[in-house]
Chains A and B, each alone.
Chain A
Amino acid sequence: DTAVSQTPKYLVTQMGNDKSIKCEQNLGHDTMYWYKQDSKKFLKIMFSYNNKELIINETVPNRFSPKSPDKAHLNLHINSLELGDSAVYFCASSQYGLAGETQYFGPGTRLLVL
């Protein structure tokens, strides 16, 4: 009965590779997000989708491409991975107009680029 799930939980890869992280929510929410948490624990929004449409696109290298096949899924594809991409990536979801649009987070994906 996991509300927001991410796969994989851990990802170790070489520089230059392409990788994807998947996110699914079963809360019926219409908005999903990707955050990056660096080694100092700072949380930075990367993208947000509402009903499969991109609504927030912060300054992120275009090597990062989100894809939302439906409103329950938001995947993150990263091309040509760099050392600086190593971080924990969190997916979150919320429902427009509900409870202050509280965001519910997935367990995170720890990405290590070697």
Chain B
Amino acid sequence: AQTVTQSQPEMSVQEAETVTLSCTYDTSESDYYLFWYKQPPSRQMILVIRQEAYKQQNATENRFSVNFQKAAKSFSLKISDSQLGDAAMYFCAYRSNTGNQFYFGTGTSLTVIP
């Protein structure tokens, strides 16, 4: 089974600064999808950003962008101009191009300091 590793259980960032959350994964597949989900204290799991492995261009969504390094099997999330509302648990997830299962990392708890 694929594994997803988030090596930073906790991170903090000053409001308006930039922070990068790390994610690495293990797979022998060449085609797959990667996701970042955000879980604020409300518990709702919210999709932040999605990356298709066959695309070389890094995905961006407003203040959120990824650094996808396929050879290194790395998929980090960069949050620019951090806001108080960004405080949440962030989960990295992998989905194979075959099969329906998502593999989630253990999460990174992000604190935003005013």
Indicate with 1 or 0, residue by residue over A25-57, a CB within 8 angstroms of chain B CB atoms: 000000101000000111101001010000110
Residues of B close to A94: CB separation below 8 A: 100
Please list the residues of chain B having a beta carbon within 8 angstroms of any beta carbon in chain A.
33, 35, 37, 39, 42-47, 50, 52, 89, 91, 95, 100-102, 104, 106-107
A99 on interface, CB distance cutoff 8 Å: yes
**Chain A residues close to B by CB (< 8 Å):** 31, 33, 40-43, 45, 48, 50, 55-56, 88, 90, 92, 94, 96, 99-105, 107-108, 110
| Chain A, residue nearest B102 (CB) | A103
B33 near A107 with CB under 8 A, answer: no
Considering the complex, give the chain B residue whose CB is closest to the CB of A32: B100
User: Nearest chain A CB to B102's CB is how many angstroms away?
Assistant: 6
Q: How many cross-chain pairs have Cβ atoms below 8 Å apart between A and B?
A: 53
Residue among B42, B47, B104, B106 making CB contact with A104, cutoff 8 Å: B47
Give the most central of B45, B50, B91: most A CB within 10 Å: B45
Binding site secondary structure of chain B: strand
Knowing A41-B89, A41-B106, A41-B107 touch, does A101 contact B100 (C-beta < 8 A)? yes
Most buried by A among B37, B100, B102: B100
18 A-B pairs with CB atoms under 8 Å apart are A41-B89, A42-B104, A42-B107, A45-B101, A50-B100, A56-B100, A56-B101, A99-B50, A100-B33, A101-B95, A102-B33, A103-B47, A103-B102, A105-B44, A105-B45, A105-B46, A107-B43, A108-B45
**Contact partners of A43 in chain B: CB under 8 A:** 91, 104, 107
New contact pairs (14) apart from A41-B89, A41-B107, A102-B35, CB-CB < 8 Å: A31-B100, A40-B106, A45-B102, A48-B101, A50-B100, A94-B100, A96-B100, A99-B50, A101-B95, A103-B47, A104-B47, A108-B43, A108-B44, A110-B43
Q: With A88-B43, A108-B44 given, is the CB distance from A100 to B102 under 8 Å?
A: no
Q: Which residues of B contact A31 (CB under 8 A)?
A: 100
